[in-house]
Chains A and B, each alone.
Chain A
Amino acid sequence: DTGVSQDPRHKITKRGQNVTFRCDPISEHNRLYWYRQTLGQGPEFLTYFQNEAQLEKSRLLSDRFSAERPKGSFSTLEIQRTEQGDSAMYLCASSLDPGLAGGPNEQYFGPGTRLTVT
């Protein structure tokens, strides 16, 4: 399977703990995106990378959140001191650079990591 993969698929943690999620994009995609989806809502943009550079961060991404893509391949999203409000599905997506693809193009989504903070 050459799609976007995410690990773990589910994570249950206690309030105050740190958690880290991993995303492996489609190998030829140089753009990687993180979204958060709460129950009954559509995904909301958190941040995106072009290669290893983090180019944009949403105001939803508080100081407790940090994302990295150290070698321009996989990415990690860490949440420190988790709160119950962090409970959500965290989605990763990847795409080609629009400049290379000839314009805005679809993002391919992974299955998501469902986080439950108790």
Chain B
Amino acid sequence: GNSVTQMEGPVTLSEEAFLTINCTYTATGYPSLFWYVQYPGEGLQLLLKATKADDKGSNKGFEATYRKETTSFHLEKGSVQVSDSAVYFCALLRWTGNQFYFGTGTSLTVIP
């Protein structure tokens, strides 16, 4: 089947600290992998994506590499800001593009 396992939170970091949020997946076929972010009171916004093995997605200083050998898509940022405080969701999209499978989300709080 298809599923996503995501590092549990909450995560609290000081500003300018290094961030890693782990994400592993199981999937049939050839999924695409995504990170979405949800700010308080808002809908999900796409942060970055990768559509095939070894692709690296990047946006706003965040990056993640699609590792087929370890079935992982870990999110990293070298220096977090207070404005990065949000819930981060790892997700896979079936190759048919019909539906997302989301992880449970990781809440990040960045303190000044």
Residues of chain A at the chain B interface (Cβ within 8 Å): 4, 31, 33, 35, 40-45, 48, 55-56, 58, 91, 93, 95, 97-98, 101, 103-112
Contact = CB atoms under 8 A, between A and B. Distances in A.
Contacts, number: 65
B99 A48 contact: yes
B98 A56 contact: yes
Contacts of B36: 109
B1 interface: no
Contacts of A106: 34, 46, 49
Contacts of B4: 42
Given A42-B91, A106-B34, A91 B44 contact: yes
A7 to B, nearest CB: 13
A95 B97 contact: yes
Given A103-B51, A104-B94, A106-B34, A56 B104 contact: no
Nearest to A95: B97
A76 B102 CA distance: 23
A101 B51 CA distance: 13
B45 interface: yes
B95 interface: yes
Contacts of B43: 4, 91, 109-112
A103 B8 CA distance: 31
